[in-house]
Structure 1
Amino acid sequence: MSTLLDLTPRAVESDRLATLPVAVIGAGPIGLAMAAHLIERGIDVTVFEAGDTAAAAIRRWGHTRLFSPRRYLIDSASRRFLESTDWTPPSERRTPTGHELIDDYVAPLAAHPDVAPHIRYGTRVVAVSREGMDRTRTTGREKTPFLLRLQHRDGHVGDVSARAVVDASGTYSTPNPLGSAGLSPLGADAVAGKILHALPDVLGAEKSEFAGRHTVVVGAGHSAANTLIALGTLAREAPGTRVTWLIRNPSAIRVSSSPDDELPNRAALGSRVDRLVASGVVTQIDSFEITRLEPTGDGIRLIGAKDGEIQTLDADRVVNATGFRPDLDMLRAVRLSLDDIVEAPAKLAPLIDPNLHSCGTVSPHGFQELSHPDPGFFIVGMKSYGRAPTFLLATGYEQVRSIAAWLDGDMGAAVNVELSLPATGVCSTDIGGSGCC
């Protein structure tokens, strides 16, 4: 039997399954696009969002400007919903900040009268399973509804059932650790308050954390570059502000100023960081592998190996810009097929390997590449890329369009995946929870 026949909805639906909604985890741009495509097809859907508003993760780094013009940032079904209202489309050529993306697109979509009733805010999905079945039970599994355990903002915990589950929860809340071995350095717990998440609001709400202090930014990608540029601006305004860029590899291979990049805002980051380093505003340290952290008064000491010798580096604050990884704990009761290296769906992983592909060279992919051994379960968006930092919003929109078609039994639309992405001269990027959008 062919793979397509194995995956047809008729093979996995019982009468009861057909009466249940599709559960979508996360009300960011990808989760809302999933909902829009399902609603447009007349399929019941419930979106569970842990935050109190849509795109809660993007709001945390909303001061940061995205790479892509808006023409790559708006989903097709979502646009159709918005165009049925008095929504005024923003300029498609301008690259917005995260806050502008929310204000101009995500918030109006979440508030749309056909979409808003399907969203449950303040509701965190803490686990996904099958009703009455752990991952070891097989008989009748494909006809058994999914079970989602929910934790509500008031502390109440309850379970709901669903015919299918689409995990669009992103990765911004689960950063990679500072240690080069993939583990938190020894002593990390003692200095946790001195380590800040990627893309802090250096020039805004969190300015007092950095002004007049020495900050070490750890990471070799574009989220590190954004923070370094902001700190460079602050260093010119606030006396005593010092900036060190610590790279665990021999060089920052992900921050490129390639003229071949069709997203000029992305290419410009590398050039601006290069100028900051050349002028001495930013001190760059390569090949420093952090092994231990210690408190030093109100600061933090980084201890590690560089060029075969143990060295130390003292700072007031450390920004962890080492990238992100998917939260898989909530999925331990689901049968998953994940790549051993990047933790992306096994069929998708070869298409997004950051050693081979940039954001602009990823092939179109849909429900087939995103499927798992538990039929009806999908991971989409940034989380579908696992640890690979090459995600674009436009890619996620095509993912959910294909999955919605599959759930509707429209196999022609499900398998016909198409995508036009900007070319890039860089190997990979890693800007926050929405990927390199």
Structure 2
Amino acid sequence: MDDSTLFLGANISASPIGPQAAAGDEEEHNVSLRSFIAIAEHHAPYAIFINKYVTPIWYVIGLTGNVISAFFWSSQRIRTCNTAAVYLTSLAVADFSYLALHIFYELEHPWLIHTLNVHGWCQLWNVLYMAATYFCVLLVCAFTCERFLSVCHPFKSERFGRTRSPRIILVLLLASIILGSPQAYFWQVTLGECKVRESEVVPESFYTIWNWCTDMLIFGALPALVLVLNICVLRKIRSAGRLRLSDSPVSQSGYTRVVGSTTKRGGSKTNGPGGGVGGGGEGVRSVKGGTTIPSSHTNSVNGTTTSTSGGSHNFTATTVTLLWVSFYLIFTTLPVTIVYAIQTAIPLGRPMPLEDMGKDPAWQTYISYYAARVIIREIGMSHHVGNVFIYLATSRRFRRQLSKLCSRRGWASTGDGHTETTNFHSMHPLQSRKISCR
């Protein structure tokens, strides 16, 4: 096809973050992907440059970082001392899977190397890619909900026991696969390219309705919900005055007195995280009535006897980690969702020679939109890459273990030199099992 005259006459109809782009957003113009790349390279070369050379950097950082993160959070000692570990392990695996699958998309667009034009693999890839994308968001939403219950409604959080987390994750995985399964019907190999079947590339088709509804739910409503829950957690933390946005050890002295939902430590009033009521029972004594317990005593938390200092510090550090991970997801996902949601309001120009497109107002608007979309999409993709840096910034144990790994000492089982327990859930005063997280 002669690239000097390109007949493009339809709007792009793509998922906010979905695999529809993988077979090529631009293939839905009823024109070859090669032709659209020619347009972009001529009128927005910087967008193609970013698309070609930033994404491989994400692969190197993300694949390596997620392997390290999964290895760390899945270690036995971390899983024993930190109930968030099972979620963070699953998130690292999901992000790794997403990036591995995304390589096939990158080879298709913009490198024009066909990797999805095999019947069966075209459909399977789209299902797996979409499921991995959904799963990442659902995991963040799940541990955000549990942290919200732990901080704001600790007694209700007891129903989410440590043993329930793997089952919740399994349910989320199955839900992701179910939500992604219609992609097997939508996609097929046509003329050597993996693209949406022609019967579905029409307004109000099942393809359009399904992708719009599921993507707005997963990439719009759920991040908004996570934002609201995080704000509630931060408000509770602020009123309690117990959490600092760092992982420095929390000084514990004096005594703890719990009256209803109010904790007094050394005469200062506190509420919420880290406290028996506000913090889900992590690293602090929770005693109904007006019982005073010296801080030198140990407390029983879901069957684990820990020191107050270690448990409270670890609750603080883990809460900070989870807040940063969820906020990072919000601020990288919502802009991408908005950009793709408005694409139908930006029409393509009429068919014309390639050189004339730069002078046509409609084409200028669309090309500017395309360039902005590429940049925002690359930034949005970073939430599958950057969690390892959040762990480095907020977890002293993670930094220590990574330092040992880099010094070829391996992943040691020793921790921060103090006993620590992280738990989403309220203290059970009848259970007492000694577990050292040193």
Structure holding more strand per residue: 1
- The two structures share one fold, judged by TM-score above 0.5: no
**TM-score interval, normalised by the smaller of the two chains:** under 0.3
Query: Which of 1 and 2 has higher RCO (CA within 8 Å, sep 6+)?
Result: 2
Calculate the TM-score normalised by the size of structure 2.
Answer: 0.25
Structure holding more helix per residue: 2
